[in-house]
Amino acid sequence: MSENLKHALEGNLESAHRPAKVAKTEEDLSDAEEEEEEEKQEAAIGVETMSQNPRIQRYLVAFEYIGTRFSGSQKQLNCRTVVGVLEDAFCKFIGQPVSIYCSSRTDAGVHALSNSCHVDIERISKRKPGEVLPPHEPAVVRRAVNHFLQKSEGDIMVTDVRCVPSDFHARYKAQDRTYYYRLLSGAEPLSTFEKDRAWHVPEDLNLQAMQEACKVLVGRHDFSSFRAAGCQAKSPIRTLDELCVTEVLPSPYFPSIMEREQSHKVSNDHPLCHSKSDTDIHLNSNPSNDAAPISHENLGFGKRKRHRCLVVTTRARSFLYHQVRLLVGVLKAVGTGNLSTSEVERILNAKTVTAASPMAPACGLYLGEVKYNLPNEEDICNQQCSS
């Protein structure tokens, strides 16, 4: 047994930051060869976690959470974690311990709009102990688990449940992952409603300069300069399929008097457009231009000046440890004028994390989506029930 596989099989598979997915570390290794090596190693680990009991149904579970009160996603002793809370809720639902395998790990304070995991459940009759019943419908699993989750802090919720084959692995079957990072720019103190939800940058941010810097970083590179100490990935080479900065409306957002009047006028002039919301109208305009004319004088008593909200979006099949937050740290420095695009290129080529800007805080980071090529859910459930 290889050292990598032995390490992965000892205890919980989620104990390591990342199993060895790239067997070769040459920089000239092609994407096709790299993916082939990854698939071989992932398949070896996937077989070990495959359920051999035909009465056990494997479910893929999507869930969202506010990461502020979690000590990360990975299970830890004497700490409140995402996996720990989920396992506790599932245990209360089915009456026996379960193991949760997450698709993506997040640090303390990091949020998730949609993370995912898989879990194996054997439905045992509570009236007749030992009698095995047909698997639960996914909708039943979702409602039951949420019932117990809401009795806790109410900061985590299951959003979707699917039946998947017994060899499906939430982590290794993921095709890509999308992260968002929210920055709020402006000298005004951060709103209570945005506390621990974004990175407050008092300086004005140059959106165009940040977008230019993204062009340097997107694509396939050696990201050693954006790899924190403790990263267990064998290769620093990663492919960023997307890296961009977008200015959006700040959230929570409520329409002003002028906006409500404009919406009412549009509805009266164009009855067929009545369903068009205020947000639809103003998202098509430039948010910075919309917010800029507002001055302290005409805001009115008790009204706050809105921050500019910039969102960094990054998408890849996999990321290095703290890679996204290090990327955002550099982009923020470009936005404030502390770094130029040429200096970003120098940092990338330096291939050492000491060359990068300070890492962005966890509070602004959101795991947005984990993408899969899912099998037909009905076929999986029917096959499981008939076996």
- The tens digit of pLDDT for each residue in 76-132 reads 889 999 999 999 999 999 988 999 999 999 999 999 999 999 999 988 877 877 778
Does the pLDDT value for residue 379 go beyond 90? no
Mean pLDDT value of segment 236-241: 96
At what angle are helices 341-350 and 207-217 packed, to 10 degrees?
A: 30
SS3 letters across 18-37? CCCCCCCCCCCCCHHHHHHH
Mean pLDDT value of segment 65-84: 94
Residues 318 and 225 in one domain: yes
| Torsion angle defined by CA atoms of residues 101, 102, 103 and 109, in that order, rounded to the nearest 10 degrees | -170
Q: Which of 2-11, 65-74, 348-357 has the lowest mean pLDDT?
A: 2-11
Mean pLDDT value of segment 276-294: 41
Residues 103 and 74 in one domain: yes
Residues 95 and 242 in one domain: no
Mean pLDDT value of segment 290-296: 42
- Any domain includes 313: yes
Mean pLDDT value of segment 210-232: 95
Q: How many CA atoms lie within 13 A of 97 on its CB side?
A: 2
Global pTM? Answer: 0.80
β-pairing, 176-185 with 199-201?
Answer: parallel
- Any domain includes 330: yes
Residues 379 and 339 in one domain: no
Number of domains making up the chain: 2
Is residue 278 flagged as an active site residue? Answer: no
Q: Provide the 10 A C-beta neighbour count for residue 4.
A: 17
Residues 98 and 123 in one domain: yes
Residues 53 and 101 in one domain: yes
Q: Which of 22-36, 88-102, 334-348 has the lowest mean pLDDT?
A: 22-36
Q: What is the CATH number of the domain that holds 146?
A: 3.30.70.580
Residues 203 and 351 in one domain: yes
- Band of pLDDT at residue 28, cut at 50, 70 and 90: very low
Residues 168 and 246 in one domain: no
Question: In terms of pLDDT, which residue wins out, 290 or 371?
Answer: 371
Q: Provide the 10 A C-beta neighbour count for residue 140.
A: 13
Q: Using CA atoms, how far apart are residues 179 and 318, in angstroms rounded to an integer?
A: 11
- Any domain includes 263: no
Mean pLDDT value of segment 55-84: 94
User: In this predicted structure, what is the pLDDT of residue 303?
Assistant: 83
- Any domain includes 329: yes
Please identify which of the residues 107, 167, 222, 290 carries the catalytic annotation.
Answer: 107
The percentage of the chain sitting over the pLDDT mark of 90, rounded to a whole number, equals: 60
Does the pLDDT value for residue 20 go beyond 70? no
User: In this predicted structure, what is the pLDDT of residue 153?
Assistant: 87
Question: In terms of pLDDT, which residue wins out, 373 or 271?
Answer: 373
- Any domain includes 30: no
- Band of pLDDT at residue 217, cut at 50, 70 and 90: very high
User: In this predicted structure, what is the pLDDT of residue 251?
Assistant: 83
Residues 332 and 377 in one domain: no
Q: Provide the 10 A C-beta neighbour count for residue 197.
A: 20
- Any domain includes 190: yes
Residues 236 and 358 in one domain: yes
Residues 129 and 201 in one domain: no
Question: In terms of pLDDT, which residue wins out, 210 or 22?
Answer: 210
Indicate the average pLDDT of the chain: 82
Q: Using CA atoms, how far apart are residues 60 and 159, in angstroms rounded to an integer?
A: 11
User: In this predicted structure, what is the pLDDT of residue 264?
Assistant: 77
* Measured CA distances, 105 to 17, 115, 218, 285 (Å): 8, 9, 22, 36
Residues 165 and 207 in one domain: no
Which structural domain, as residue segments, surrounds residue 351?
A: 176-250+307-368
